[in-house]
A and B are shown apart, each in its own frame.
Chain A
Amino acid sequence: MNTDRVLPTVSGLPTRVLVVDDEPQIRRFLDIGLRAQGYIVTTAGTAESALAAFAHLGADLVILDIGLPDRDGHQVLRELRRRSAVPVILLTVRSGESEKVAALDAGANDYVTKPFGMLELMARVRALLRPRAAASATPETFDDGRLRVDFAQRSVSLGGVPVGLARKEFALLALLIQHEGRVATQPGLLRALWGPTHERDTHYLRILVAKLRGKLGDDAAAPTYIATEPGVGLRFIGRAKPDP
Chain B
Amino acid sequence: MHDFPPSPLLRDLTLGLLAAAASTALAWCAQRWLGLTDLSTVFIVAVVLVASRTRTLAAVVAAIACFLSYDFFFLAPRFTFYIHARQGVATVVLFLAAALVAGRLASRLRAQVLALRATNAHTTALQSLGRALASAADIDAVLAAGREALAQATGAEVLLRIGDRASEGDWGSLDAVDRAAADVATCESRSTGRFAEGASRAAWAFRPLGSGGVAGLRHAPSAQAPGAEQSRLVEAMLDAIAQAALRTRLVAELEQSHVANETERLRSALLSSVSHDLRSPLAAIIGAASSLDHYGASMDAADRHSLLETVRIEGERLDRYIQNLLDMTRLGHGALTLRRDWIGVDELIGSAVLRLRRYQPEARFTIAVAPGIAPVWVHPALLEQALFNVLENAAAFSPAGEPVSVDADERDGRLRIDIGDRGPGIPEAERRRIFDMFYSVERGDRGRNGIGLGLAICQGLVGAHGGSVEALPGAGGSGTVIRIELPRVASPESSAGDGP
A residues touching B (Cβ–Cβ < 8 Å)? 94-95, 97-98, 115, 117, 120, 168, 186, 194, 200-210, 219-223, 227-231, 242
Of the candidates A115, A120, A221, which one forms a contact with B346 in the assembled complex, judged by CB atoms under 8 Å apart? A221
The answer to whether A222 and B350 have CB atoms under 8 Å apart is yes
Give the residues in chain B near A202, CB-CB below 8 Å. Answer: 341-342
B residues touching A (Cβ–Cβ < 8 Å)? 312, 315-316, 319, 323, 326-327, 339, 341-344, 346-351, 353-354, 357-358, 365, 367, 369, 375, 379-381, 383-384, 406, 408, 491, 493-494, 498-500
Of the candidates B327, B367, B494, which one forms a contact with A203 in the assembled complex, judged by CB atoms under 8 Å apart? B494
The answer to whether A242 and B351 have CB atoms under 8 Å apart is no
The answer to whether B354 and A242 have CB atoms under 8 Å apart is yes
* Bound Cα distance A120, B312 (Å): 13
Give the residues in chain B near A97, CB-CB below 8 Å. Answer: 339, 380-381
The answer to whether B348 and A207 have CB atoms under 8 Å apart is no
Known contacts A207-B500, A210-B344, A228-B344; A221/B349 CB under 8 A: yes
Q: What 3 A-B pairs are tightest by C-beta distance, nearest first?
A: A230-B380, A220-B346, A228-B347
Separation in Å of the A201 CB from the closest CB of chain B? 8
The answer to whether A95 and B347 have CB atoms under 8 Å apart is no
Of the candidates B344, B365, B375, B381, which one forms a contact with A231 in the assembled complex, judged by CB atoms under 8 Å apart? B381
Separation in Å of the A81 CB from the closest CB of chain B? 26
The answer to whether B351 and A194 have CB atoms under 8 Å apart is no
Of the candidates A168, A228, A242, which one forms a contact with B500 in the assembled complex, judged by CB atoms under 8 Å apart? A168
Give the residues in chain A near B351, CB-CB below 8 Å. Answer: 227-230
Interface centre among B319, B354, B357 (most CB of A within 10 A): B354
Of the candidates A120, A203, A205, A219, which one forms a contact with B350 in the assembled complex, judged by CB atoms under 8 Å apart? A219
The answer to whether A203 and B384 have CB atoms under 8 Å apart is no
* Bound Cα distance A167, B315 (Å): 46
Of the candidates A94, A194, A206, which one forms a contact with B342 in the assembled complex, judged by CB atoms under 8 Å apart? A206
Give the residues in chain B near A228, CB-CB below 8 Å. Answer: 343-344, 347-348, 350-351
The answer to whether B323 and A94 have CB atoms under 8 Å apart is yes
* Bound Cα distance A223, B353 (Å): 10
The answer to whether B369 and A230 have CB atoms under 8 Å apart is no
* Bound Cα distance A221, B384 (Å): 12
The answer to whether B348 and A230 have CB atoms under 8 Å apart is yes
The answer to whether A221 and B367 have CB atoms under 8 Å apart is yes
* Bound Cα distance A210, B346 (Å): 10
A selection of 23 A-B contacts at a CB cut-off of 8 Å is: A95-B327, A115-B315, A115-B316, A115-B319, A117-B312, A203-B491, A206-B342, A206-B344, A207-B499, A208-B500, A209-B344, A219-B346, A219-B350, A220-B347, A221-B353, A222-B353, A222-B365, A222-B367, A223-B354, A227-B354, A228-B347, A230-B380, A231-B384
The answer to whether B375 and A207 have CB atoms under 8 Å apart is yes
Give the residues in chain B near A203, CB-CB below 8 Å. Answer: 342, 375, 491, 494, 498-499
Known contacts A97-B380, A231-B341; A204/B350 CB under 8 A: no
Known contacts A94-B323, A203-B375; A230/B381 CB under 8 A: yes
Chain A: which residue is nearest B368 at the CB level? A221
Known contacts A220-B347, A227-B351, A230-B381; A194/B341 CB under 8 A: no
The answer to whether A242 and B357 have CB atoms under 8 Å apart is yes
* Bound Cα distance A186, B341 (Å): 11
Give the residues in chain A near B342, CB-CB below 8 Å. Answer: 202-203, 205-206
Chain B: which residue is nearest A198 at the CB level? B500
Give the residues in chain B near A206, CB-CB below 8 Å. Answer: 342-344, 347, 375
* Bound Cα distance A160, B381 (Å): 37
Give the residues in chain A near B348, CB-CB below 8 Å. Answer: 228, 230
Give the residues in chain A near B316, CB-CB below 8 Å. Answer: 115
* Bound Cα distance A3, B263 (Å): 51
Given A200-B493, A201-B500, A231-B381, 6 additional A-B pairs, CB 8 A: A95-B327, A115-B319, A168-B500, A204-B500, A221-B406, A228-B348
Known contacts A203-B498, A210-B344, A230-B380; A220/B350 CB under 8 A: yes
Of the candidates B349, B357, B380, B499, which one forms a contact with A204 in the assembled complex, judged by CB atoms under 8 Å apart? B499
Known contacts A230-B351, A230-B384; A221/B339 CB under 8 A: no
Separation in Å of the B340 CB from the closest CB of chain A? 10
Give the residues in chain B near A186, CB-CB below 8 Å. Answer: 341
* Bound Cα distance A61, B369 (Å): 40
The answer to whether A95 and B346 have CB atoms under 8 Å apart is no
* Bound Cα distance A206, B377 (Å): 11
The answer to whether B344 and A220 have CB atoms under 8 Å apart is yes
Known contacts A115-B315, A206-B375, A242-B354; A230/B491 CB under 8 A: no
